[in-house]
Structure 1
Amino acid sequence: MGKTIHDPDRSFTSGRISLKGMKFHAFHGCFDFERECGGDYEVDFSAMQDSSYVQKGPVNLLAASCTDDLQDTLDYSRVYAIVARVMASPSNLIEKVAGDIMSAVLDEFPYLGEVEVTVRKMRPPIDGMDSGYAEYVLVSVL
Structure 2
Amino acid sequence: MGKIVLENIKLFGFHGCMPEEEYVGSHYTITLEVEFDFYQASVSDDLSKTINYVDLYYIVKEEMKINSKLIEHLAQRIIQRIKKYKKPLIKYTKVKICKENPPLQGNIIDRVCVILDNS
- Structure 1-normalised TM-score? 0.78
Which residue number in structure 2 is paired with residue 88 of structure 1?
65
Letter in 2 for 1:34: E
Q: In the aligned structure 1, how far is the partner of 2:24 from the partner of 2:41?
A: 42
Deviation of 1:101 after TM superposition, in Å, equals 0.5
Which residue number in structure 1 is paired with residue 8 of structure 2?
21
- Equivalent residues of 1:123, 1:129 under 8 A apart: no
Q: Can you list the C-alpha shifts for 1:65-86, whole angstroms capped at 9, x where unaligned?
A: 2222111111111111111111
Q: How does 1:82-121 map to 2 (within 5 A)?
A: 82-111=59-88, 112-121=90-99
Deviation of 1:109 after TM superposition, in Å, equals 1.7
- Structure 2-normalised TM-score? 0.91
Deviation of 1:44 after TM superposition, in Å, equals 1.0
Deviation of 1:131 after TM superposition, in Å, equals 4.0
Paired positions, count = 118
Q: How does 1:1-142 map to 2 (within 5 A)?
A: 14-49=1-36, 60-111=37-88, 112-141=90-119
Superposed CA RMSD:
1.3
Letter in 2 for 1:127: Q
Q: In the aligned structure 2, how far is the partner of 1:18 from the partner of 1:66?
A: 20
Unaligned runs of 5+ in 2: none
Q: In the aligned structure 1, how far is the partner of 2:106 from the partner of 2:42?
A: 47
Unaligned runs of 5+ in 1: 1-13, 50-59
SS in 2 for 1:113: strand
Select the structure of larger CA radius of gyration.
1
Considering fraction of residues, name the structure with more strand. Answer: 2
**Percent of residue pairs bearing the same amino acid type:** 29
